[in-house]
Amino acid sequence: MAFVIRNEVKVYFEDHGTGPAVLLSHGFSQSSTMWQAQIAALSDRYRVITWDMRGHGQSDYPEDPGAYTDAESVADMAAILDACGVQKAVVGGLSLGGCASLLFHMKYPERTAGLMLFDTGPGFRKDAARDAWNETANKRAANFDAVGLDGLGDGPAAKIAGHRDATGLAHAARGLLAQTDATMIESLPTIAVPTLVLVGSEDVNFHAATDYMSNKIEGAQKVIIEDAGHDANMDQPAAFNKALAGFLDGLSL
């Protein structure tokens, strides 16, 4: 078990394989355990680094809501790469992890060798759309407050996530899942690194966002995984891994 410690908060990470580094970030209410099939498929030729966001899995669950911010997530990612001795990595993630990857690129473009955005969106330009998203995020937080880990439901990623209690998930919903501005969506035309934008065919809520990102990011590769929902990497691991390997193997790393 490996941790980085920032401001007395322990953040869990795993480091598998050798070769060019790939940093994968999980979705909200999931954990690094969701990447098991990708570690198995890639670690023979890539260094696959996964981690648990604050309030998730084996990382700490700070009591202070102010410890759950986009800036803290990006700083955690940079600290993990530093601990691994990695200056530059292909950075990717699913859903909330995709947002974290975009934010990391905004802060550290020189440390980003490529981007992989799975079943995710770039945020919202219009306040009304952002407010509606945040209302949903706050409802999820309230549900975790009310029913604890029962609020996870019965999805496959939630079953293996290893959360210790729901307090961190509630804080993360309010501080990480909720959004404050349009900086992510406005950053898309500035992305100059190779980018993969992938979505499950059944993840219809994210099809428009996938199209938008693939159009706004110059040269982006768009992939649709058939018969996959929001957790495309777990729903169809073989097809997902083929798309991932095809993208990574085509980079000059």
User: Could you tell me the domains of the chain?
Assistant: 2-249 (3.40.50.1820)
CA angle 146, 149, 154 (to 5 degrees): 120
Residue 159: pLDDT band with limits 50, 70, 90 = confident
Residue 158: pLDDT band with limits 50, 70, 90 = confident
Choice among 11-20, 72-81, 144-153 with the minimum mean pLDDT: 144-153
The arithmetic mean of pLDDT across residues 205-228, rounded, is: 97
pLDDT at 61 over 80: yes
β-bridge mates for residue 115, sequence order: 91, 195
CA distance 87 to 78: 9
What is the three-class DSSP state of 119? coil
pLDDT at 253: 80
pLDDT at 153: 84
User: For the segment 63-110, what is each residue's pLDDT rounded down to a tens digit?
Assistant: 999 999 999 999 999 999 999 999 999 999 999 999 999 999 999 999
The arithmetic mean of pLDDT across residues 176-194, rounded, is: 96
CA distance 69 to 66: 7
β-bridge mates for residue 116, sequence order: 92, 196
pLDDT at 203: 97
Choice among 159-163, 199-203, 221-225 with the minimum mean pLDDT: 159-163
Query: 191 near 145, Cβ under 8 Å?
Result: no
DSSP H helices in the chain: 36-42, 70-83, 96-107, 127-147, 156-160, 167-172, 183-187, 207-216, 232-235, 237-249
Query: 50 near 26, Cβ under 8 Å?
Result: yes
Residue 6: pLDDT band with limits 50, 70, 90 = very high
Percent of the chain with pLDDT over 70: 100
